[in-house]
Structure 1
Amino acid sequence: MLKAREESLKQKEEELEMRDREQEKLKIELKKLQKMKEFKPTMAFPLGLSLKDQEQEKKDKKKSGRKKPSPPYVLWCKDQWNEVKKANPDADFKEMSNLLAAKWKTVTAEEKKPYEERYQAEKEAYLKIIGNEKREHEAMKLLEDEQKQKTAMELLEQYLQFKQEAEKDNKKTKKERDPLKPKQPMSAYFIFSNERRAALFAENKNVLEVARITGEEWKNMTEKQKAPYEQMALKSKEKYMQEMELYKQKKEEEAVNLKKEEEELMKIQKQEAMQLLKKKEKTETLIKKTKEKQQKQKKEKGAKNADPNKPKKPASSFLLFSKEARKNLVEERPGTTNSTLNALISVKWKLVVVVAVIARMLI
């Protein structure tokens, strides 16, 4: 009985030890996961346009007032609208449109010419702007794709490095505080407690006792007794506000400078993108020319090697049959489409083949 109890106790102890080990492992894994959540890549991502940015860009384009050029008729209508409206003051929009349309028919080619020229000029200018924008967008997309590949590789390297560091060190990192940011001013109570703390510690009081005593003393103090501390707190607050104002100004300046730097970087990237696009276009043109040259050489070679005296391949039985069948069908059914003729010829040919097979079997 005693042996059985001892064995059962040992088993329980072993089970408890195993549980403790598993719990420790789980804690370590949990710490690792917590560390993983804090992964922040220290790299600049490519300045590509997100969906929101693209939508905003479209809105900005609309707001900028850039419209498609109006055709000559619309330009002429704008000029003639007031005149026609004076002659027909009671006419609504539909009637006005009909009147203008009727009048436009009577306008000579010479009278239409200025509007057509104006339309052409506006159209050319519009197409030029659109073409440049499209080309720039294509170049930026090309550069963005290239940068994405580089970024992905850098990000992977950073993540692997971070993972290794996380496995070595599982300590939580504290949030970094801006050293230039002014510290919060102390309240009147904190100034008083700092003043009293040294004396209370000298009396061998612990932290909790010091906090309790200073709190009680502060509550029992009169407004007159609190006044000097409140004045000190007010002065420190004013000083803090001034420092904070300067800090904010500095931060705003930094933000403006950062924006300028980003704009400059974007300009440089656009230039790089255009160079990359030109390089791509040049390569594509070269490949195209090479292919055309090769095809031309093949054709010339084929033409040289072709023997004019070489007999042509004989036509197949189906081709010969289809020629005769087509003639007969055209005579029988004039106006029939080619697809219908092809279907009928195919059916007839199948019947001929079946008849031929049956005839062979009978023989």
Structure 2
Amino acid sequence: MAPLSLLSIGASLLGRTVGVCSSSSVLRCSCIAPALQRFSTTAGPPRRPLSAYLCYVIEQQPIVLKQNPDVKIVDITRKIAQQWKTLTPDQKRPFEEASLTDRERYRVDLQKYQSQLTPAQAAAIAEEKRRRMEKRNASRKKRELNSLGKPKRARSAFNVFMAEHFQEAKGSNVQAKLKSLMDDWKDLYVSQKQVYVQLAEDDKVRYKNEMKVWEEHMTELGREDLVRQKEKKATGTKGDKNNSTVKVLKDKVPTKEKVAKKTQPPAKKALEITEM
């Protein structure tokens, strides 16, 4: 189901799409053309193209709202989504054609927009896109790890203190409460902090044990990519470490030539030097 926040964005995109729709899509989408004329383009980057589903939502929303004036917008969107699922391929085709046309419009507008950018602006946009992608990937990986049951990280002494006293902390919002807790933590004596330090140490033991079991389970599932690198080295290079130790010990074993050289009498060495 499409997010509600996309509806207003989609309406602007569809306004530029309806004028170039095919003959079959114009007939189906003509009912929303007047409502789209009030949207105008901006000097910024082009808006992303509408999907076929969003085209259908924009057409059906005023109709369903008129038929159900007392229904919440969330329920309206849910009803439209159910209607979309029941449409036949022929009924969906006009909206799919409108979406394809809007995609072509977006491609042309994007090329035009990018050609007007300075190198510095293009680099800044690329960097921002990279940061958004990293954030999205990190969020996706976090959800995956949570679904796989990865243990929660060990808490610090302050985190233990904060969790215990957060409800009673001063402040009307989260930031104010955190600031108040940080001030209270700084005012504690070392002996008072020691209780939370010990709890944090116990939590480290808990985390270490749970992570060991979890990583063994991930290895059994074939997800070695989720195992920490240091754990891989500790298990994967154990044999190499033993071999290197044997090699070092072997090098320390004196050979026959070394023994003979060390046990050679000093007089014989002096004689050899004189003869040379």
Query: TM-score range with shorter-chain normalisation?
Result: 0.3 to 0.5
TM-score scaled to structure 1, two decimals? 0.26
TM-score scaled to structure 2, two decimals? 0.34
Higher relative contact order (CA 8 A, sep 6+): 1
Larger C-alpha radius of gyration, 1 or 2? 1
